[in-house]
Copies of this chain bind each other. A is one copy, B any other.
Amino acid sequence: MPGMKNLDFAFLLEMYGCMLTDRQRELMEFYYWEDMSLGEAAEYLGITRQAVRDGIKRGEQTLSLYEQKLAMAEKISRCREIFDTITEISDENSIGEFPFENIKKIYELAKSGRELIS
């Protein structure tokens, strides 16, 4: 809801932005990615602040609906974390001291990632 930026929308915009109208996407990118205020976006586009607010609100509703139905953002976000953790654990600096617990950790992480998207 404009006025209280919910940063989750920045991520949902990444996932489902292509499902918005061009104008809605533009407004949401200004607001969520480029951190413009409603007033700045309005001035930049030569429209009213209310029109900016309405466009963003409709965009947010659409993005929420897609996430509610597809639940992809949450899964992708979790997969990113898992890949990052595995990358860290297996980073080649660990050579010479790669304990069995780490192999086990990697195994569990990969398994949980797979289950998440099965």
Does A36 sit at the interface, judged by CB under 8 A?
no
Q: Does A48 contact B (CB under 8 A)?
A: no
> Within 8 Å CB of A82, what residues of B?
83
Structural contact, B106 and A83, CB atoms closer than 8 A: no
This chain's copy number in the assembly: 2
- Chain A interface secondary structure, helix, strand, loop or mixed? helix
1/0 contact string of A13-31 vs chain B (CB within 8 Å): 0011011000000000000
A-B contact list, 10 entries, CB within 8 Å = A18-B70, A70-B72, A79-B113, A80-B114, A83-B110, A84-B110, A86-B106, A86-B107, A90-B106, A92-B104
- Which residue of chain B is the closest to A77 with respect to CB atoms? B117
Once the chains are docked, how many angstroms separate the CA of A87 from the CA of B100? Answer: 14
